[in-house]
Amino acid sequence: MCGIIGYSGHRPAVPLLLKGLKSLEYRGYDSAGVAYIQNKAMEVIRAEGKLSQLESKLDSCNVSIALSGIGHTRWATHGLPVEHNAHPHKDNSGHLAMVHNGIIENFQELREELLAKGHTFSSETDTEVLVNLIAEGRKDNGTLLDAFSWALGRVEGSFAVALTDLNEPGVIYAARQSSPLVLGVGVGENFVASDIPAFLAYTRDVVFLEDGEMVRIDANSWAVYNAATREAVDKKVDHITWDVQSAQKGGYKHFMLKEIFEQPRVIADCLTGRVNGSKEIMLPELEGLEPPKRLHIVACGTSFHAGLWGMHLMESWAKIPVSVEIASEFRYRDIIMDPGDAVLAISQSGETADTLAGLRMVKEQGVPVIGLCNVVGSSIARESDRVVYTQAGPEISVASTKAMCSQLTALTILALYWGLQKGTMAGQDVEQVLSGLSSLPQDLEKALPAIHETAKDLAREYSSARSFLYLGRGLYYPLALEGALKLKEISYIHAEGYAAGEMKHGPIALIDPEFPTFAMALNDGLFPKVQSNLVEVKARNGRVIALTHEGLPLEVDTSWVIPELIEPLNSFLALPALQLFAYETADYLGKDVDQPRNLAKSVTVE
Ligand code: M6R
């Protein structure tokens, strides 16, 4: 995920682009850059790190008052977050400069084709391939608009791009396919950007672009075209009434809510390029690495819960013995490692001190470490022998939601990958899971609004509870732990997650009408066991919310029925129910949802 902006108008473009990028920094911040035309040359200034690094660099450049330009803030997908991979990228002639958000899936083959035609590349990015492809297309296709359309027709994947050309100063072209892009219509100035806050200080009139559309702006005009046919498209101008802060949250009240609702897209992004229609899983990151004989998963907090969930899949599909360890414990144990063992370090931020210390400890023993991280170029990602990125995009809210969803997706892919390599999965199971995964983003998208409504109602009903018990078995035990963590973290209501079968060994003493239970009672092989645990709770006058599937016999206070998929994919619908219940409870109680007390997004201390 990256942020892009393009401007043409009557104001100095560079400061305006920087201001716009500042508001897009939530989309990524590992490097940034701008391009503008000065003294008849295309100037591209880029810097590694946060936007402030680019600002300092620009301070020492003699930036003229260019009145148009493009800008980018990056969340690395192809290539390390270093300056030569930062955007904008130029074509070989140096006439075109481009910024891009998204992933071009067939960039490797296009790169080879362009190399054969004599193009050279100075970065590892897919973007540099696209801008050179446009330049190549211009040789045969006349205008830049024609060449742009031709090149877009050749790329597969997702993109929002903005393009500037030395031959047409003051003109910006842009296009979108499965990545956000909006057009801002001003007076004597026009804008394109990944998100409205980037230009909200200058205009509230916007045109929402659709997939397959491209746009040309200059200071005094704008036009939208069908990217394939180049025919003009009639568009409506909408007037925005949001303030800047809520717009950054895409109209959601909090980042947490926005991130919960981003989960369908997160699953799709994590699957992109890894799972295709056939019975094949592509994880080039792990090429040449044998499936481990034994896997030690090391993580903290929500990432630890994801690891516990992944353990079930590794064991049943790939037949790999797995232990899941809390990193702060693991790092101080005398862990016995055998030849063939590997460590999987799971961390959204890639900076968690305990997980990093555990990784360093086993690396000293020569044990191979695979990092499962969200933040590209983070310490854990860099220090692992191999890294699989979860591709969830930046997570702003301290409470981790979409990152866990992406971890579950990546763990599913990893277990399938090793299961297929070892031949331990029945072909029929593989087909079923692959087909379930391909429709999972749509299934979740469809289910989320109703799950949210129920979460709101239940949050109001149960918000006076002082304490909550979360119960689950099998795959739903880690989710019960996660549900309890979310509730305590943001609503400050005490909550405990327990394996449902353990309840009778102690916690049952706590059950009374004031101590509600949130049970994961979904339709898996362990449902009858959970059902009898809940009978035990009801017999002690405990109130029970059961997250369940249609038609399951339960005598509880609230049956919260969610749509049923195949196992283990039901977890992807159960997880947002837990997240939304915690979110709605915290919001109803007036808590600071995105920045709960005493917490930090990255725990870089022991
Ligand atoms: O960045 P990491 O995944 O390594 O972070 C681990 C935990 O600190 C994190 O999951 C924490 O528990 C979250 N705030 C939970 O919402």
pLDDT by residue (tens digit) across 416-431? 999 999 999 987 888 8
* Cα(302) to centroid(ligand 1), Å: 5
Place of tokens 């034994």: 294
**Is a pLDDT exceeding 80 seen at residue 29?**
no
Centre of ligand 1 to C-alpha 580, Å, is: 18
Residue 595 confidence (pLDDT): 85
pLDDT given at position 379 = 82
Residue 606: inside a domain, yes or no?
no
In a domain, residue 432? The reply is no
- Choose which residue among 255, 297, 348 to substitute to test ligand 1 binding: the one with the highest number of ligand atoms within 8 A of its C-beta: 348
pLDDT of residue 254: 94
Q: Please provide residue 6's backbone torsions phi and psi, each rounded to the nearest 5 degrees.
A: -135, 145
Establish whether 2 is a catalytic residue. yes
CA neighbor of 72 nearest in space, from 92, 93, 97: 97
What pLDDT does residue 280 have? 81
pLDDT of residue 601: 72
User: What is the number of other CB atoms lying within 10 angstroms of the CB of residue 371?
Assistant: 26
Q: From residue 233, give the alpha-carbon distance in Å to each of 8, 168, 278, 461, 495.
A: 21, 22, 37, 49, 54
For residue 516, the one-letter residue type is P
Answer whether 578 contacts ligand 1 (Cβ < 6 A): no
Structure tokens at 592: 């600071």
Q: What is the model's pTM?
A: 0.74
Distance of CA 304 from the midpoint of ligand 1 (Å): 8
180 CA → ligand 1 middle, Å:
28
Ligand 1 atom nearest to CA at 375: 1
Name, in order, each residue with C-beta under 8 angstroms of 449's C-beta and a sequence gap of 6 or more. none
Q: How far apart are CA 530 and CA 553, in angstroms?
A: 11
CA 391 – ligand 1 centroid, Å: 16
- pLDDT the model gives residue 485: 98
Q: Tell me whether residue 600 is in a domain.
A: no
413 with 481, same domain? no
* Torsion sign across C-alpha atoms 375, 376, 377, 382: positive
For residue 2, what pLDDT is reported? 83
Does 329 share its domain with 347?
yes
Q: Would you state the pLDDT for residue 426?
A: 83
Torsion of CA 138, 139, 143, 147, to 10 degrees: -30
Q: Decide if 161 contacts 174 (C-beta within 8 A).
A: yes
* Pair (165, 205) in one structural domain: yes
Task: Report which of 425, 244, 408, 234 is spatially closest to residue 318, judged by C-alpha positions.
Answer: 425
Q: Has residue 1 got a pLDDT over 70?
A: no
User: Ligand 1 in contact with 256 (CB < 6 A)?
Assistant: no
Cβ of 397 closer than 6 Å to ligand 1, yes or no, is no
DSSP 178: B
Closest atom of ligand 1 to CA, residue 599: 14
Distance between CA 496 and CA 488 in Å, rounded? 9
Between 76 and 218, where is the model more confident?
218
Q: How far is CA 50 from the centre of its chain?
A: 19
Pair 149, 196 in one domain: yes
406 lines ligand 1 (CB under 6 A): no
Is 164 in the same domain as 277? Answer: no
- Which parts of 411-493 are beta strand (E)? 467-472
- The mean of the pLDDT values for the chain is 93
Claim to verify: residue 116 and residue 17 sit in the same structural domain: yes
Tell me if 604 is assigned to some domain. Answer: no
Into how many domains does the chain fold? 3
Can you tell me the distance from the alpha carbon of 343 to that of 384, in angstroms, rounded to the nearest whole number?
9
Q: What does the alpha-carbon distance between residue 136 and residue 156 come to, in Å, rounded to a whole number?
A: 17
Predicted confidence at residue 91, as pLDDT, reads: 96
Ligand 1 within 6 A of CB of 596: no
State how far the Cα of 312 lies from the Cα of 476, in Å rounded to an integer.
10
Tell me what pLDDT residue 242 has.
67
DSSP 49-107: SSHHHHHHHHHTS-----SEEEEEEE--SSS-SSGGGSSPEE-TTS-EEEEEEEEETTH
Rounded CA gap, 222 and 189, in Å? 10
- Which of 2, 270, 300, 373 is an active site residue? 2
Q: Which residues contact 539 (CB under 8 A, 6 or more apart)?
A: none
Ligand 1 centroid to Cα of residue 345, in Å, is: 13
**Residue 169 CB partners (closer than 8 Å, separation 6+):** 37, 68
What pLDDT shows up at residue 102? 85
Minimum mean pLDDT range among 69-73, 160-164, 244-248: 244-248
The mean pLDDT value for 327-345 works out to: 95
Residue reference for tokens 């866990």: 404
Contact residues for 204 (Cβ-Cβ < 8 A; gap 6+): 239, 240, 241
Residue 88: per-residue pLDDT: 97
Range of the domain at 200: 3-245
Same domain, 62 and 210: yes
Ligand 1, atom nearest to 301 Cα: 12
For position 243, what pLDDT does the model report? 66
Ligand 1 in contact with 348 (CB < 6 A)?
yes
- Residue 355 near ligand 1, beta carbon < 6 Å: yes
To the nearest whole percent, how much of the chain has pLDDT over 90?
78
C-beta of 352 in contact with ligand 1 (< 6 A): yes
Q: 573: CA distance to ligand 1 center in Å? A: 21
Give the list of residues 6+ apart from residue 276 with CB closer than 8 angstroms, or none: 282
CA distances from 351 to 345, 359, 378, 409 (A): 11, 11, 6, 21
Amino acid, res. 456: K
CA of 403 to the centre of ligand 1 (A): 9
pLDDT reported for residue 605: 67
The full length of the chain comes to 606
pLDDT at residue 413 greater than cutoff 80: yes
Q: Is residue 449 part of a domain?
A: yes
Q: Which pLDDT band holds residue 467 (cuts at 50, 70, 90)?
A: very high
CATH of the domain at 471: 3.40.50.10490
Give the three-class secondary structure for 479.
helix
How far apart are alpha carbons 314 and 297 in whole angstroms?
A: 11
Among 6-10, 17-21, 141-145, 253-257, which is the least confidently predicted range?
141-145
Ligand 1 atom nearest residue 400's Cα: 16
Q: In DSSP terms, which residues pair with 101 in a beta bridge?
A: 160
pLDDT confidence bin for 277, thresholds 50/70/90:
low
User: Which residue of 305, 349, 492, 601 sits with most ligand 1 atoms within 8 Å of its CB, as the best mutation to test the pocket?
Assistant: 349
User: Does the beta carbon of 300 sit less than 6 angstroms from any atom of ligand 1?
Assistant: yes
- Label residue 71 exposed, middle or buried (CB < 10 Å: 0-12, 13-18, 19+): buried
Would strands 341-347 and 294-299 be described as parallel, antiparallel, or unpaired? Answer: parallel
| Distance in angstroms (rounded) separating the CA atoms of residues 435 and 278 | 10
Task: Answer whether 579 contacts ligand 1 (Cβ < 6 A).
Answer: no
Give the lowest-confidence range in 224-233, 239-248, 521-530, 534-543. 239-248
Give domain status of residue 193, yes or no. yes
Ligand 1 atom with the smallest distance to the CA of 403 is: 3
Between strands 68-74 and 89-90, the pairing is unpaired
**Is there an atom of ligand 1 within 6 Å of 400 CB?**
yes
- Residues 6+ positions from 374 with CB-CB distance below 8 Å: 347, 348, 349, 350, 389, 390, 391, 392, 395, 403, 406
Q: Residue 154: its pLDDT value, please? A: 96
Shared domain for 400 and 527, answered yes or no, is: no
Burial of 368 (0-12, 13-18, 19+ CB in 10 A): middle
User: Do residues 397 and 495 both lie within one domain?
Assistant: no
The pLDDT score that the predictor gives to residue 250 is: 80
Task: Report the percent of the chain where pLDDT is more than 70.
Answer: 97
Determine the residue of 400, 404, 592, 595 to mutate for testing ligand 1's pocket, defined as the one with the most ligand atoms within 8 A of the Cβ atom: 400
Mean pLDDT of 112-117: 96
pLDDT band at residue 93 using 50, 70 and 90 as cut-offs = very high
Buried b (16+ CB within 10 A) or exposed e, 97-106: bbbbbbbbee
Phi then psi dihedrals of residue 354, to 5 deg: -65, -40
What's the pLDDT tens digit per position in 562-604? 999 999 999 999 999 999 999 999 999 999 999 888 887 777 6
Q: Let me know whether 481 and 586 are in one domain.
A: yes
CA 521 – ligand 1 centroid, Å: 26
Instruction: Output the pLDDT for position 36.
Output: 96
| Cβ pair 470, 480 in contact under 8 A | yes
Whether residues 580 and 469 fall in one domain: yes
Which entry of 19, 50, 57, 601 is annotated as an active-site residue?
601
How confident is the model over 154-187, as pLDDT tens digits?
Answer: 999 889 999 999 999 999 999 998 777 999 999 9
Point out the ligand 1 atom lying closest to the alpha carbon of residue 380.
Answer: 4
Say if residue 153 is in the same domain as residue 258.
Answer: no
- 438 inside domain: no
Q: Is residue 437 part of a domain?
A: no
Q: Candidates 254, 260, 300, 390: which one to mutate for ligand 1, based on the most atoms within 8 Å of Cβ?
A: 300
Alpha carbon 437 to chain centroid, angstroms: 17
Query: What pLDDT is attached to residue 351?
Result: 85
DSSP state of 281: B
Question: What is the whole-number distance in angstroms between the Cα of residue 595 and the centre of ligand 1?
Answer: 13
